[in-house]
C-alpha cells in the first residue's frame, strides 16, 4: 500500500493520471448510477403495471366465463323445470321438455366448456344431460353446499375443482374429462319463492386453465388461480426453480383485492402480482422471478458499465496523448534542474512554443544565469571581505603606533613617572586584548567603546597638549553586537587629520544612541581643522568605491573607505558612514548600524 502511495505521488504524470481517472470516473459512475436507478425503477414499475393489467384481464375473462355460464340459471323460469322439481313422480314429457331446453340453450349460446347441466329437487330426484333422470342415493340436504343455499337461496356457489361435485359426492358419479368447476343455484317456486330444487352446472377445469396456460410473464413466469385462502385451484406446470407458492406463504399476503409484492423464499426472489375475480372471489396470482422483470434494467446497467469503462479508456488514451506533449518538457526541465542541483550550471533547456511550460523553461534559464552571476558576486565579495579583514588586521598591529607607544613608556619610566607608566601599559594591554578578541569578528558596543577609550588614553599621553575626548553612549545599545575595529579607524583619522594640524587643543566627542527599534547611530565629532569642500567630495567618492585594496600611501581616505565597505558587506547598502565637515570648524562622522541582538559577540 505504501509503495502504491509513493508511486502515485512521486510523479507528476501518475498524479495527473490518477486525477483524470478520479475526475472522470466519479461523474460517469454517478450519472450511470442515477440512470440505472431511474431505468430500473421505470422498467420495474412498467413491468409491474403490465403484469397487473394481464392479471386483471385474466380475472375479467374468468368473470365473463362464469357470467355467460350463469345465464343457464334462467332455466328455473321454465315451467317444465318447475313441474319436474315440484313433482315427486316421473313425467316423461317434462323430462323431454327439459332436455330439449338444454339443447336449445346450447344452440343459442356457445358453451364448449360446460360438461353437464343437472337439476335435483329436495327429495334427490334429478335430471341431467349425461345421466337423464336419476335419483340420488342420499338426501341432498346432507351436502353442505345445498344446505348453505337453503339458508341463503339467492347466492350462487362456485365450487372449485379441488372440491368434489355435490352430486358426485352423493352418488359417486365421475367425469371422464377430469375435474370440474361446479356452479350451483337454487330453483324457487314463483309465487312463494320457496326453494324446490337446485341447478348444478359443471364446467371443465380446462375451460379455466386455458386462460392461465395461454398467458405467461417474461420467460418463466406464469399465472395460476387460488382460492381466497391461497390454496391453488388451477395451476399450470411450472419449472422446479419457480414453484407455486403454498397457501401458508401466500394467504397472509392476499389481504387486498389486488396488489403485488416480492417474495423472498429459499430460492430466487419472486415478484408476485394478484387480483381478485369479482364473480368467484378467487385470486389470480402471477409469479415471475424478479431478475426477469428487471432484465432490461440489467441490460441497461451492463451498457452503462461498458460505456463508463470505454469512456475511461478513451480518457486514459487522451491523457497519454496530452501528457506526452505536456510532461516531456517538464521531464527535461527536471533533469536539467537535477544537474544544476549537483553543481553543473551550464545545462540549459530550449523551450518550444509560448505556453506556461515554455515560460517556465525560459525562467529556468534566467535563474541559472542569475545564480551564476550571484555566485561570481559572492566570490568577489568574499575576496573583498578577506582583503578588508587583512587591512583591519594590519591596522590592529600598526608598528608605528606600537613603537611610539613603547617609546613613550620608556621616556616616562626614565623620568620616574611610574604611575603614568602603569596607566599607559594597562591601556595598551587592554587595547591589544580587545583588538585580538580571541579571533572574533564581532564584539559588543561596550567592548568597542572600551577599545577606543584605551586608544585615546594611549594617544593622550603623547598628545596631551592637543587632545581631549568625551564619550557618551546610551546603555540601551551597549550590549548590541558590532563589527570589531569599526570606531578606532575613524577616531584615528579625527586625531591625525583633524586635531594634530591645529595649534590649539581639540576635542573628540563620541556619542551613541538608538534611533529606532532596529537602528542605532554612533557619532564621532571633532573640532579640528575640518575638510575643504573639494577634498570632502573626493573622500565621499572614495569612501563608496567597491575596490578595497589600493595604493593609498596612507592618505586619510583609507580608514573611512575600509570601515564603509565592511559595514555594507555585512549589513547591506542601507547602512554605513555619513561624512560632513566645514573648514576650520571640524568634522562629523555618523555611523548608522542595524541592531542585531541575535549576533554572537
Query: Where does the pLDDT of residue 559 fall: very low under 50, low under 70, confident under 90, or very high at 90 and above?
Result: confident
What is the Cα Rg of the chain in Å?
A: 63
Task: Answer yes or no: are the C-beta atoms of 79 and 187 closer than 8 Å.
Answer: no
Place 590 in a pLDDT band, splitting at 50, 70 and 90: very high
| DSSP-derived secondary structure letter, 253 | G
Q: For position 286, what pLDDT does the model report?
A: 86
Task: Fill in the DSSP letter of residue 432.
Answer: H
Dist. CA 542–CA 552, nearest whole Å: 11
Orientation angle between helical segments 12-70 and 205-213, nearest 10 degrees: 160
Q: In this predicted model, what pLDDT tens digit does every residue of 129-141 receive, in sequence order?
A: 888 888 888 888 8
Give the N- to C-terminal CA distance of the chain in Å, as an integer: 53
Q: What is the SS3 string spanning 54-68?
A: HHHHHHHHHHHHHHH
Domain-embedded: residue 4: no
Q: Which domain holds residue 360?
A: 337-375
According to the model, what pLDDT value does residue 484 have? Answer: 84
Going by C-alpha positions, the residue among 159, 216, 212, 211 that lies closest to residue 185 is 159
Which of 208, 223, 250 lies at the terminal end of a domain, its last residue? 208
| Measured distance CA(195)–CA(184) in Å, rounded | 13
How many domains does the chain fold into? Answer: 3
Give me the residues paired with residue 467 across strands. Answer: 506
Contacts of 67-70 with CB under 8 Å at 24 or more apart are 67/279, 68/109, 68/111, 69/111, 69/113, 69/114, 69/183, 69/201, 69/203, 70/156, 70/183, 70/185, 70/279
Report the alpha-carbon distance of residue 580 to residue 524 in Å, rounded: 11
d(CA 512, CA 453): 14
- Which residue, chain included where needed, has cell 380475472? 59
Cβ atoms of 232 and 283 closer than 8 Å: no
Task: Please give the average per-residue pLDDT across 491-500, as a whole number.
Answer: 88
Residue 488 and residue 363 in one domain: no
335-361 pLDDT per residue, tens: 777 777 777 777 777 777 667 667 777
Q: Do 413 and 547 reside in the same domain of the chain?
A: yes
- Asked if the structure places residue 248 within a domain, the reply is no
Distance from C-alpha of 472 to C-alpha of 522, rounded to nearest angstrom:
10
Q: pLDDT digits over 66-87, tens only?
A: 888 888 888 888 888 888 887 7
Residue 475 pLDDT level (bands cut at 50, 70, 90): very high
User: Are 545 and 407 found together in one domain?
Assistant: yes
Same domain, 94 and 170: yes
Same domain membership, residue 502 and residue 415: yes
CATH (domain of 122): 3.30.450.20
Residue for grid cell 362456485: 158
What H or E segment, with its residue span, contains residue 286?
A: strand 283-289
- Looking only at the bridges linking them, the beta strands covering 195-204 and 180-188 are antiparallel
Residue with cell 460517469: 28
Q: Identify whether residues 355 and 404 lie together within a single domain.
A: no
Percent of the chain at pLDDT exceeding 70: 83
For range 142-151, the mean pLDDT: 88
Q: Which residue intervals of 397-499 are DSSP H helices?
A: 399-414, 418-436, 445-462, 488-494
Nearest of 583, 548, 540 to residue 565 by alpha carbon: 548
Give alpha helix (H) positions in 255-355.
Answer: 290-293, 295-341
Domain boundary among 191, 208, 225: 208
CB 127 within 8 A of CB 119: yes
Q: Is residue 29 part of a domain?
A: no
- Segment (H or E) for 523: strand 519-526
* Structure confidence at residue 450 (pLDDT): 92
Dihedral sign, Cα of residue 522, residue 528, residue 534, residue 538: negative
d(CA 113, CA 302): 48
* Domain-located, residue 571: yes
**So what's the pLDDT on residue 592?**
95
Q: Is the pLDDT of residue 241 over 80?
A: no
In angstroms, the CA 542 to CA 549 distance is 12
482 bridge partner residues = 443
Q: Range with the lowest mean pLDDT among 94-98, 128-132, 264-268? A: 264-268
The pLDDT-based confidence of 553 (bands split at 50, 70, 90) is very low
Q: Reply yes or no on whether the pLDDT at 552 is more than 90.
A: no
Angstrom CA distances, 402 to 399, 413, 556, stand at 5, 17, 20
DSSP 571-595: H-TT-EEEEEEETTTEEEEEEEEE-
| Helix or strand holding residue 199 (H, E) | strand 195-204
520, pLDDT greater than 90: yes
Tell me how far CA of residue 409 lies from CA of 154, 425, 455, 459, 506, in angstroms: 157, 8, 15, 12, 24
Task: Answer whether residue 138 is part of any domain.
Answer: yes
pLDDT, one tens digit per residue, over 7-40 is: 545 566 677 777 777 777 788 778 878 877 787 7
Calpha distance 361→346 (Å, rounded): 14
Return d(Cα 434, Cα 273) in angstroms, integer: 109
Together in a domain, 412 and 539: yes
User: Distance of CA 79 to CAs 95, 133, 198, 249, 429, Å?
Assistant: 11, 17, 15, 50, 162
What is the DSSP secondary structure assignment for residue 244, as one 8-state letter?
A: P
| Cell (9 digits) for 194 | 320457496
451 by Cβ neighbours in 10 Å (0-12 / 13-18 / 19+) ranks as buried
Q: Is residue 43 part of a domain?
A: no
Based on the domain organization, do 429 and 471 belong to the same domain? yes
157-176 pLDDT, tens digit per residue, is: 988 887 766 676 555 556 66
181, with CB counted inside 10 A (0-12, 13-18, 19+), is: buried
Mean pLDDT of 241-260: 71
Residues 413 and 534 reside in one and the same domain: yes
- pLDDT at residue 393, rounded to an integer: 46
Q: What is the pLDDT of residue 519?
A: 94
361 and 403 both lie in a single domain: no
CA distances from 204 to 101, 160, 167, 208, 216 (A): 21, 11, 15, 7, 21
Least confident among 196-200, 219-223, 245-249, 508-512: 245-249
Helix (H, G, I), strand (E, B) or coil at 545: coil
In the numeric block, which cell numbers belong to residue 310? 470505454
Helix, strand or coil, per DSSP, at residue 365: helix
User: Which residue has cell 486525477?
Assistant: 19
358 and 495 inside one domain? no
Burial of 441 (0-12, 13-18, 19+ CB in 10 A): middle
Asked if residue 256 is part of any domain, the answer here is no
Share of the chain above pLDDT 90, in %: 14
508 vs 484, residue with greater confidence: 508
Residue 29: what pLDDT? 78
Is residue 201 in a domain?
yes
Percent of residues in the chain assigned helix, strand, coil, to nearest 5: 55, 20, 25
Rounded mean pLDDT, 198-218: 85
pLDDT on residue 90: 64
Evaluate if residue 391 carries a pLDDT over 80.
Answer: no
In the predicted model, what is the mean pLDDT of the chain? 80
Do 531 and 565 reside in the same domain of the chain? yes
Name residue 158's beta-bridge partners: 183
Distance CA 104, CA 106 (A): 5
For the four alpha carbons of 133, 139, 142 and 147, in that order, the dihedral sign comes to positive
CATH code of the domain covering residue 451: 3.30.565.10
Provide the grid cell at 105: 340453450
User: Considering 185, 208, 231, which residue would you say is the last residue of a domain?
Assistant: 208
User: How far, rounded to the nearest angstrom, does the alpha carbon of residue 66 sit from its chain's CA centroid?
Assistant: 65
Pairing mode of beta strands 221-226, 216-217: antiparallel
Amino acid at each position: 500500500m505504501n509503495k502504491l502511495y509513493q508511486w502515485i505521488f512521486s510523479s507528476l504524470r501518475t498524479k495527473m493520471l490518477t486525477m483524470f481517472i478520479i475526475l472522470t470516473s466519479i461523474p460517469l459512475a454517478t450519472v450511470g448510477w442515477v440512470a440505472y436507478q431511474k431505468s430500473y425503477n421505470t422498467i420495474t414499475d412498467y413491468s409491474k403495471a403490465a403484469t397487473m393489467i394481464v392479471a386483471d384481464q385474466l380475472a375479467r375473462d374468468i368473470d365473463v366465463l362464469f357470467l355467460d355460464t350463469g345465464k343457464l340459471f334462467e332455466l328455473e323460469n321454465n315451467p317444465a323445470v318447475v313441474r319436474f322439481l315440484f313433482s315427486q313422480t316421473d313425467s316423461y314429457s317434462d323430462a323431454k321438455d327439459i332436455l330439449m331446453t338444454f339443447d336449445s340453450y346450447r344452440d343459442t349460446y356457445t358453451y364448449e366448456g360446460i360438461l353437464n347441466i343437472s337439476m335435483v329437487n329436495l327429495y334427490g330426484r334429478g335430471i341431467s344431460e349425461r345421466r337423464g333422470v336419476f335419483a340420488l342415493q342420499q338426501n341432498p340436504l346432507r351436502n353442505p353446499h345445498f344446505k348453505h343455499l337453503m339458508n341463503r337461496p339467492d347466492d350462487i356457489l362456485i365450487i372449485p375443482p379441488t372440491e368434489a361435485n355435490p352430486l358426485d359426492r352423493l352418488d359417486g358419479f365421475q367425469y371422464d374429462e377430469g375435474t370440474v368447476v361446479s356452479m350451483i343455484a337454487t330453483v324457487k317456486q314463483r309465487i312463494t319463492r320457496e326453494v324446490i330444487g337446485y341447478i348444478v352446472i359443471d364446467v371443465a377445469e380446462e375451460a379455466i386453465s386455458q386462460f392461465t396456460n395461454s398467458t405467461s410473464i417474461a420467460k418463466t413466469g406464469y399465472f395460476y388461480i387460488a382460492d381466497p385462502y391461497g390454496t391453488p385451484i388451477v395451476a399450470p406446470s411450472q419449472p422446479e426453480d419457480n414453484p407455486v407458492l403454498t397457501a401458508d406463504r401466500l394467504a397472509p399476503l392476499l389481504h387486498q383485492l389486488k396488489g403485488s409484492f416480492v417474495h423472498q423464499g429459499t430460492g430466487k426472489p419472486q415478484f408476485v402480482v394478484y387480483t381478485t375475480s369479482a364473480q368467484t372471489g378467487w385470486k389470480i396470482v402471477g409469479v415471475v422471478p424478479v431478475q426477469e422483470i428487471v432484465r432490461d434494467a440489467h441490460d441497461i446497467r451492463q451498457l452503462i458499465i461498458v460505456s463508463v469503462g470505454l469512456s475511461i479508456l478513451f480518457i486514459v488514451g487522451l491523457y497519454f496523448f496530452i501528457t506526452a506533449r505536456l510532461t516531456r518538457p517538464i521531464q527535461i526541465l527536471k533533469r536539467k534542474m537535477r544537474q544544476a542541483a549537483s553543481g553543473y550550471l551550464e545545462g540549459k533547456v530550449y523551450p518550444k512554443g509560448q505556453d506556461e511550460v515554455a515560460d517556465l523553461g525560459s525562467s529556468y534559464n534566467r535563474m541559472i544565469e542569475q545564480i551564476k552571476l550571484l555566485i561570481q558576486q559572492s566570490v568577489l565579495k568574499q575576496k573583498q571581505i578577506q582583503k578588508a579583514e587583512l587591512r583591519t588586521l594590519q591596522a590592529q598591529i600598526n608598528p608605528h603606533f606600537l613603537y611610539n607607544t613603547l617609546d613613550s613608556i620608556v621616556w616616562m619610566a626614565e623620568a620616574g613617572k611610574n604611575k603614568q607608566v602603569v596607566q599607559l601599559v594597562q591601556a595598551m594591554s587592554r587595547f591589544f586584548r580587545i583588538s585580538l578578541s580571541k579571533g572574533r569578528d564581532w564584539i559588543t558596543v561596550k567592548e568597542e567603546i572600551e577599545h577606543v577609550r584605551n586608544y585615546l588614553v594611549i594617544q593622550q599621553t603623547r598628545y596631551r597638549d592637543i587632545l581631549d575626548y568625551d564619550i557618551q553612549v546610551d546603555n540601551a545599545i551597549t550590549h548590541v553586537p558590532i563589527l570589531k575595529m569599526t570606531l578606532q579607524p575613524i577616531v584615528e583619522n579625527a586625531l591625525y587629520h583633524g586635531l594634530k594640524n591645529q595649534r590649539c587643543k581639540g576635542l573628540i566627542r563620541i556619542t551613541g544612541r538608538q534611533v529606532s527599534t532596529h537602528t542605532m547611530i554612533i557619532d564621532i565629532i571633532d573640532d579640528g581643522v575640518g575638510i575643504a569642500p573639494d577634498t570632502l567630495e573626493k573622500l565621499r567618492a572614495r569612501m563608496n568605491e567597491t575596490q578595497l585594496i589600493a595604493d593609498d600611501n596612507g592618505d586619510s581616505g583609507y580608514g573611512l573607505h575600509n570601515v564603509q565597505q565592511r559595514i555594507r558587506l555585512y549589513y547591506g547598502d542601507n547602512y554605513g558612514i555619513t561624512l560632513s565637515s566645514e573648514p576650520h570648524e571640524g568634522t562629523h562622522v555618523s555611523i548608522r548600524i542595524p541592531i542585531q541582538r541575535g549576533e554572537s559577540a
